[in-house]
Chains A and B, each alone.
Chain A
Amino acid sequence: MTLLTLTGLNVSIADGTDRIHAVRDVGMTIARREIVGLVGESGCGKSTLSRAAVGLRPAGVTVSGSVRLDDTELLDLDHRTLAAEVWGRKVGFIPQNPMGALNPVLRIGHQLTEHMRRHLGIGAREARTRAADALAATGIPAPVAALDKFPHELSGGMRQRVAIAMALACDPALLIADEPTTALDVTIQAQIIDLLVTLCRDRDMAMLLVSHDLPLVLQVADRVDVMYAGRVVERAPSTGLAERRAMPYTAALLDSVPTLSGPQPVRLPAIGGTPPDLRAAPRGCAFAVRCGHADAECATREPTLQPVRGDDHLTACLRPLEAKTPVIGEDETAPETAADRAVPVLRATDLVLEYRVPGRPSFRAVDGVSLELHEGEILGLVGESGCGKSTLGRALTGLIRPAAGTIEHPAGETADVQLIFQDAKGSLNPRRSILDVVAEPLLYAGRGTTRERREEAASLLASVGLDPEVLGRRAPRRLSGGQAQRVAIARALAAKPRVLVCDEPVSALDVSVQAQIINLLMDVRTATSVSILFIAHDLAAVRAASDRVAVMYLGVVCEIGSAEEVLGAPRHPYTKALVASVPGQGGRLRASLSGEPPAPGDPSSGCRFQTRCPEAVPECAITRPPLVDLGPTQAVACHVVAPSRQATGVSPS
């Protein structure tokens, strides 16, 4: 039974004097109780499509074609009718950023009931009961008490649950979830996706799940639409799509996502280029310029969706792939790196880092971390937000002075640690040209004349794969995210660092670009023997990039070892849970951890992880487990896995 039918949908967005044709002639159906995934890089039109699919037409956006929900043509209805009868009533929305979707000055209960009373015409008391039920259904502990809270009193995961409860409140037939978990930590991500799928099954809802994360979508959706340049380019059941994909774009998307299974790749296969500008309709296949399989015909004729393998698997491709063809990237043997010799260049011992807020007890973000970084090695540092990984990274660059403990540089002086930021563009002075940005550290070091510095900057730009002739004179705002990160890396290299601290360097980038940046960092390491601390929350990206991995939880390192050991055979219960919550490892997604981290900085005694740990024993509440070596490289801080002989002798600092 069809719930939503889109026919010949075109969406164009006014942009100054031009129009961007963000969605071009898309047809789609969603049946009742069906979960449909919509996937693509940013700028491919998936969010625009998901909004137009429920009749949402903000100023400047023109929608043509047909959108039928049940038997109603939504494009015939005006905004007021849609708001009264469709949105929130028949269609529920789940936002990417729940904080933005909740009114910060109104209590949760007020926001939930207002909505229900308007749509369902029920009284205040009944609405409150139903609101509490909806909150309970989303797994919020103490739902009645939560009704009287303000949004800022809840964590990100809890806010997303409230936003889901709001979407569920009027029993819609269709949920639109636009990147519902992108802003959340991995363990929370798995919980929320689990919840959405369970709710859809229990309440007979259909869902359009918009995401850039293809492995995630493949695990939960019944069917997947892959979008590129405003069109659906592949449509297939998600089961087995990883092997059966026909469109090279889908294959490239799948291949460029790092995984936790299989051998650790030497380089990640990356898709070059970016999606086309949609001001003018592309000639031929829009993907042809980035496609390794394109021929002359692809450049002139734009393909339409046609069945390839059975009636339910369609693709818009003139040269569809055979099932299971490796598209890009072959395995290489890893070059020997300086990391194999384990010469330490940076050593932190019992490091304690605190933030002082006047009038309040200081907040301890890092609580006794000892870490060694070897020459030419990439050390991954993972953990959920608030675990102190960024604070640790900044302390290693000298930006934060430790409250206790030491940072030593056994190999050289102190000014040789550089930092790469998540927001690469924000880290480049918007008033300088790219060339001057890269030359900055040379200026600070007082090296050469302006002209010599620019020449050196140009060669650095070339070394990170950018053309200085084309980009050197540009302002940073005209760079794409990936280019900006390359410029930031070139600038850091100009300072001739021994250590690069990369703080979430790829998490703001599209998967295809992510792979390029990770490859670049690995190349830089090989070429310059620089050591890299790769801070990220994405375990698969860390595995792809790192030689060794350290896992942090609430200010302490709970497991450290080679990437293969820690992420392939994790020992600490927290690492196990983190690894299990990553999608794309075959099998269904498991929400492996319940609950959320306690408020950071709360100095309860014993193991930090005890409140969420499935294996906790009484000992865990009393003493803090020290890091105990399990092998030549792997060490774990856990009473259960690695009982410490002198556990009682370790002070919980």
Chain B
Amino acid sequence: MPVEQGTPSAATTVTSPDPAPAGTPARRGAGRGLGPGALVALGWLAGLSVLALLGDALPFIGDPSRMTSLPYEPPSSAHPLGTDEIGRDVLSRVVYAARVSLPIAAGAVAVAMLVGGIIGLLTGFLRGTVDEVGQWLLDVLVSFPPLILAMAVTAFLGRSPVILAVILGLLFVPPAARLVRTHTMATSTREYVVAARVLGASRIRIVFREIVPAVVPHLLAYAVLAASAVIVIEGALSFLGLSIPPPTPTWGGMITAARDGLAEAPHVLLVPVAVLFATVLALNGLADTLRSRLVETR
């Protein structure tokens, strides 16, 4: 093959005179499997959600409030995980509790990511006065002790799932906003964003076509992490009796009630603890996987 004399004149086409280094691995990240850990975590969360959704449509799950047996029954064929202090089916209760915890977590995360994301984008992109006011607002929000804020508001406004989701969501607005702000500022100075400005892209276009796609993966990974934190806090609130009131089952409420019978029937306590633990662990693991897969590393 002859040596090429420079580049062809501006009208002719040739195959690239300067080909990429051969054997560059295909797109890193994308296309690789999720790995066994993440699959187990996903499986757990999906399974729990399906159980919670189907509820008593399933043969082994009944009404969580009905006293169907004697208190503190050990696991049996009628009650796979035994019965609680007043003879209710533990499996049914733990599954129905997911109907409370998971939607609250999802709602809270949605509030946090939406509000935090918008604040972060605005402050990070506009800077200046907007940024100063935004930071001050976040500082105010951060300075409330989270549990006490939640207690005060639920005591005042009542304990509905929507109110809980909003309160818990507000707690995660400041970190989400800061995360988005940092990545927005970092991305705005990237040369491809500067290039888009020079090429005549409007500010709206720059935000939605250049910055948002770069920031969303970071926010998504954080959202999953925040979901696990919300579940823990909701558990703590219901343990303190500040979440959804009985007789609706919650994991925290089940743990509180089971304390008295700990010596007699430890499984009644262990089941909600284990489910809570596994759910939080699954979400944390998933957040890690998401971060390493979604977030571009260059």
Contact = CB atoms under 8 A, between A and B. Distances in A.
A470 B296 CA distance: 24
A480 interface: yes
Contact of A466 (B10, B16, B22, B213): B16
Given A276-B22, A419-B195, A444 B200 contact: yes
B27 A465 contact: no
Interface in A257-277: 267-274, 276-277
Chain B interface size range: 35 or more
A478 B24 contact: yes
A471 interface: yes
Interface string A489-502: 00110010000000
A482 interface: yes
A148 interface: no
B140 interface: no
A267 B200 contact: no
Contact of A415 (B17, B192, B200): B200
B132 to A, nearest CB: 12
Contacts of B191: 421, 423, 426-427
B5 interface: yes
B18 A274 contact: yes
Contacts of B199: 418, 440-441, 444, 491-492, 495
Given A271-B3, A417-B198, A429-B196, 13 more contacts: A276-B22, A289-B1, A428-B192, A444-B196, A464-B10, A465-B14, A465-B16, A467-B16, A488-B195, A491-B199, A516-B17, A523-B7, A526-B10
Interface residues of A, number: 73
A221 B19 CA distance: 32
- The 6 tightest CB contacts between A and B, nearest first, are A272-B4, A292-B3, A527-B10, A277-B22, A482-B18, A462-B13
B6 A480 contact: no
Contact of A270 (B5, B13, B21, B213): B5
A431 B214 contact: yes
Contact of A43 (B4, B21, B195): B21
Nearest to A466: B16
B contacts with A: majority SS = loop
A173 B270 CA distance: 70
17 contacts: A269-B5, A269-B6, A270-B7, A273-B4, A277-B22, A292-B3, A415-B200, A419-B194, A426-B191, A426-B192, A440-B196, A444-B201, A463-B11, A466-B16, A471-B16, A478-B20, A480-B18
Contact of B6 (A268, A289, A431, A445): A268
A16 interface: yes
Interface in A390-429: 397-399, 415, 417-419, 421, 423, 426-429
Interface in B245-283: none
B126 to A, nearest CB: 16
B35 interface: no
A522 to B, nearest CB: 9
A137 interface: no
Contacts of B198: 397-399, 417-419
A465 B21 contact: no
A475 B24 CA distance: 12
A356 to B, nearest CB: 12
B143 interface: no
B200 A430 contact: no
B205 interface: yes
Contacts of B23: 18, 277, 279
Interface string A74-101: 0000000000000000000000000000
Contact of A519 (B7, B12, B194): B7
A520 interface: yes
B15 interface: yes
Contacts of B14: 465, 467
Contacts of A398: 198
Interface string A502-540: 000000000001011001100110111000000000000
A421 B27 CA distance: 24
Contacts of B195: 419, 421, 427-428, 488, 491
